[in-house]
């Protein structure tokens, strides 16, 4: 298994990368960590004429404090390695959901190469980072030679391995809002073996009011649709009430029954995925709730 021939470009600045992409458009593929692209090139399922390697664009792998739009938070360059997300103390403090989810991505050898932006742009509905981006209300910066726009994560994923990226755009950075007070997150998934793609995964977040009732909840799933799936109705069932076992069970039932459309595959039947989603939702909500109770109340 050897890839087909291609023209290799390794720009050392974002401007040079954008110029190359403007010239080649859809004939070119962008090479980030390569942990999904190179396997499909090895199989010759992808045979791009031009490969634009972003690994020498140093301005794309920085982690910086977020701007006023994020109320603090973080701005993370798209070429930031997943291993760095796992280890960076700023990520652990300001994006605990991301910190918790990253170790579920494949194996250390993969995370040493795989990047935040590469995984988002690849848009595999079974991957952790797209679901985490939707759950965190991340905003994605898409730049071209002429333009510069921000897209909400939920609008970025448009279908199977499909995104809002145009032919001449590069996903350059990801803005994550600062965590709201009295909140907690939990990320859980089930897989056949450690490091495999999840049969089902869930990111659950809850925020409490001063009386300890649920002010807001979020539930976002991976591996149950053609893109990250958010269960808004189930989350709404939780809001405005104490997070009792009954309320959590009702939300888990609602999400797994009515708000996802998993398919059968060799790893799990659709019915089993719904079962996993229901069980994982309950566990994740209880864990997120416990963390929210322990979280600091001040903004």
Partner 1 sequence: MTAHRVSVTVNGKSYEREVESRLLLSDFLRHELDLTGTHVGCEHGVCGACTVLFDGEPVRSCLIFAVQAHGRELSTVEGLAPGPGELHPLQQAFWEKHGLQCGFCTPGFLMTLVPFLEQNPSPTELEIRQALSGNLCRCTGYQHIVDAVQLAAERMRRDAE
- Rank residues 104 and 156 by Cβ distance to partner 1 and give the closer one: 104
Binders of partner 1 in range 70-89 (CB under 8 A): 83
Tell the smallest beta-carbon distance from residue 188 to partner 1 (Å).
16
**Pick from 35, 115, 190, 199: which binds partner 1 (CB under 8 A)?**
35
The verdict on 92 binding partner 1 (CB under 8 A) reads no
Tell the smallest beta-carbon distance from residue 273 to partner 1 (Å).
22
**Pick from 195, 226, 275, 286: which binds partner 1 (CB under 8 A)?**
195
Task: In whole angstroms, give the CA distance from residue 153 to residue 150.
Answer: 9
What would the x/- binding string for partner 1 be over residues 93 to 112, using CB under 8 A? -------------xxxxx-x
Residue span binding partner 1 (CB under 8 A) among the ranges 36-44, 115-123, 197-205, 208-216: 36-44
Tell the smallest beta-carbon distance from residue 229 to partner 1 (Å).
26
The verdict on 43 binding partner 1 (CB under 8 A) reads yes
The verdict on 250 binding partner 1 (CB under 8 A) reads no
Q: Count of residues binding partner 1 (CB under 8 A)? A: 29
**Pick from 3, 247, 250, 286: which binds partner 1 (CB under 8 A)?**
3
Which residues are at the interface with partner 1 (CB under 8 A)? 1-8, 10, 34-35, 38-39, 42-43, 51, 53, 55, 83, 106-110, 112-113, 193-195
């Amino acid at each position: 298994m050897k890839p087909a021939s291609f023209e290799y470009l390794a720009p050392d600045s974002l401007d040079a990368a954008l110029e190359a992409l403007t010239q080649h458009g859809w004939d070119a593929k962008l090479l980030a960590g390569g942990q999904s692209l190179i396997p499909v090139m090895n199989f010759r399922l992808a045979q791009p004429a031009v490969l634009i390697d972003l690994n020498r664009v140093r301005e794309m792998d920085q982690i910086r404090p977020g701007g006023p739009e994020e109320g603090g938070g973080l701005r993370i360059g798209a070429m930031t390695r997943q291993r760095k997300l796992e280890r960076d103390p700023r990520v652990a403090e300001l994006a605990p959901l991301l910190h918790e989810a990253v170790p579920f991505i494949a194996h250390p050898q993969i995370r040493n190469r795989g990047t935040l932006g590469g995984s988002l742009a690849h848009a595999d509905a079974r991957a952790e980072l797209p679901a985490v981006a939707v759950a965190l209300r991340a905003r994605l910066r898409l730049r071209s030679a002429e333009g510069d726009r921000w897209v909400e994560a939920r609008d970025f994923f448009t279908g199977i391995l499909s995104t809002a990226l145009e032919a001449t755009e590069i996903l350059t950075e990801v803005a994550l809002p600062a965590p709201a007070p009295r909140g907690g997150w939990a990320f859980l998934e089930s897989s056949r073996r450690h490091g495999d793609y999840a049969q089902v995964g869930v990111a659950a977040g809850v925020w409490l009011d001063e009386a300890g009732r649920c002010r807001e909840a979020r539930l976002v799933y991976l591996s149950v649709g053609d893109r990250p799936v958010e269960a808004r109705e189930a989350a709404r069932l939780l809001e405005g009430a104490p997070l009792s076992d009954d309320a959590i069970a009702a939300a888990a039932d609602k999400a797994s029954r009515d708000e996802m459309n998993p398919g059968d595959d060799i790893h799990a039947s659709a019915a089993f995925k719904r079962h996993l989603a229901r069980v994982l939702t309950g566990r994740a909500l209880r864990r997120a709730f416990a963390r929210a109770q322990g979280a600091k109340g001040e903004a």
